[in-house]
Amino acid sequence: MSVKVVIAGVSGRMGHALLEGVLADADLQLYGALDRTDSPQIGQDAGAQLGKNTGVIIISDVAAALKGADVLVDFTRPEASLDYLKACKQAQVKYVIGTTGFTVEQKATIAKAAKEIAIVFAPNMSVGVTLLIDLVEQAAKVLNEGYDIEVVEMHHRHKVDAPSGTALRLGEAAAAGLGQDLKDCAIYAREGVTGEREAGKIGFATLRGGDVVGDHTVVFAGIGERVEITHKASSRATFALGALRAAKFLQHKTVGLFDMRDVLKLS
């Protein structure tokens, strides 16, 4: 039986990629399509942007869209995602969250909700990035003395949060490899006379511009050598396919908070 999927923000960049992914997968059924109330796409067929007739009309009524659905897939904004979270709890619908930029308190709200419904929550749904996170933690364990760690990321000009959720997750992985907590060793900005770099710190550099989908590099800079671990996304399809893989993963889950490491059986 196919998984009945509802897509949030269906007319956006990620929504478009998710729509293509669902329609191309025989194990998935496009069940609902959501967009904000003021979207000009409201009332149109969800497939119109692809030149297809799906029979699913884009609406803003979350409760109506979720009725009878299996899973909601969401790459929108934190405030909208928290509203979707409440609706998913009420409808007992599973939830895949690819949204980034949540506060610590908002993440705690998601974790609490996972006691009632099954949720996959990850700052990056890419299979490659999930592997990258594991590699960074392992590298930090080995390069734990005499190497400075810097996380460099670049995204398109429309991205609203910085550093990216993926960059922060990579920083957490590096800190874990060092046996530290990221909040105790992160440096997010440098300006003016900063003094020499302190050992054991993890630095972040954020670049924004153009239409860059997402580039992330973790640099381990030692004396006489530098190790760089990089992932570059050339299409949003990689995030969409990972998210839809997560939707299938939730098919047989009832409650719990999972990430892409669980989906890929790396944990």
The model's pLDDT over 224-234, given as tens digits with 9 standing for 90+, comes to 999 999 999 99
Indicate yes or no: pTM above 0.85.
no
Distance CA 64, CA 258 (A): 26
Catalytic residue among 4, 52, 159, 201: 159
pLDDT-derived band at 157, boundaries 50, 70, 90: very high
The model's pLDDT over 101-113, given as tens digits with 9 standing for 90+, comes to 899 999 999 999 9
159 is catalytic: yes
pLDDT at residue 80 in the model: 96
Show the tokens assigned to 84: 């979707």
4 is catalytic: no
Catalytic residue among 155, 216, 231, 248: 155
Domains of the chain by range and CATH?
A: 3-121+236-263 (3.40.50.720), 127-233 (3.30.360.10)
